[in-house]
Structure 1
Amino acid sequence: MYRKPDWETRLAAYLEPLRARPFAWGEHDCCTFSAGAVAAMTDVDPMPEFRGRYSTAIGSARALRRFGRGTLAATLDAKFEAIEPAFAQRGDVVMSSGLLGICMGAFLVAVGREGDREGLIRIERARWVEPRAWRVQFGF
């Protein structure tokens, strides 16, 4: 799975309609959001085995045990190249405090809540907690 030459345009088009979409387990959560972003950039869904398999937090944990490697981080380790979070670039997958999202350079975009607003949120790089990161490969 490699980024298409126009990956930045594809990613922007994917993000725009999701800005105000509320969190929903199995439909618009950190896993489905991040997998959708990768699919937008590469034309390959990295998590198809999870689609339609859960609709609650408990169901998500069960799906990770059944279809993944037990945890979200271990599942991502099996699908992507792990990198030092300090080296995460725009379009890479990043986890902070267990929340998965997409690196946009100086911040991480993820599904969440800020005050009364639900949808995509920004987490500044300086506020990442126990970050993990995975490279979304560039094509040649």
Structure 2
Amino acid sequence: MHRCPDWDARLAAYLEPLRLRPFAWGKHDCCTFAAGAVEAMTGVDPMPEFRGRYSTAIGSARALRRLGRGDLASTLDGKFEAVPAALAQRGDIVMSSGLLGICWGPFLFAVGSEGDREGLIRIERAKWMEPRAWRVAYGF
């Protein structure tokens, strides 16, 4: 699984319609959002085994135990190369305080809420808490 040559345009096109889409377990949560971003950049869904398998927080945790490696970070470790969060580049997957999203240079895009607005939120890199990151590979 490698980024397509036009991965940045594909990622931007993926993000745009999601700006105001509210959080929904199994449909538009941190895992499906990040997996969708990877699919947009590479053409490959990295988490197909989870699609349609849960609709609640408890269901998500059960799916990670049953289909993944027990938790989200360990499951991502099995699918992507872990990199120091300080080296995360635009398009890489980043987890901050358990919230999974996509690096967009100086910040992270994730599904959440700010005030009354739901949809994609921006978290500045300086505010990432206990960050972890995974590289979405480039083609050669």
Structure 1 residues 1-140: aligned runs within 5 Å: 1-140=1-140
Gaps of 5+ in 2: none
| Count of matched residue pairs | 140
Q: Following the alignment from structure 1 to structure 2, what is the Cα–Cα distance between the partners of residues 35 and 58?
A: 19
Q: Distance in 1 between matches of 2:124 and 2:17?
A: 22
Distance 2:67 2:40 in 1: 22
TM-score normalised per structure 1 = 1.00
| Offset, 1:54 | 0.1
Structure 1 position 64, deviation (Å) = 0.1
TM-score by length of 2: 1.00
Provide the secondary structure at the position in 1 that maps to 2:110.
strand
For structure 1, the residue ranges without an aligned partner over 5 or more in a row are none
Distance 2:126 2:87 in 1: 13
TM superposition shift of 1:46: 0.3
Runs of 4+, deviation exceeding 2 Å = none
Q: Residues of 2 paired with 1:123 and 1:52: CA distance? A: 28
1:36 Cα offset (Å): 0.1
CA distance in 1, matches of 2:54, 2:29: 11
The residue matched to 1:79 in structure 2 has which SS?
A: coil
For residue 121 of structure 1, report the CA deviation from its aligned partner. 0.2
Offset from partner CA, 1:36-70 (integer Å, 9 cap, x none): 00000000000000000000000000000000000
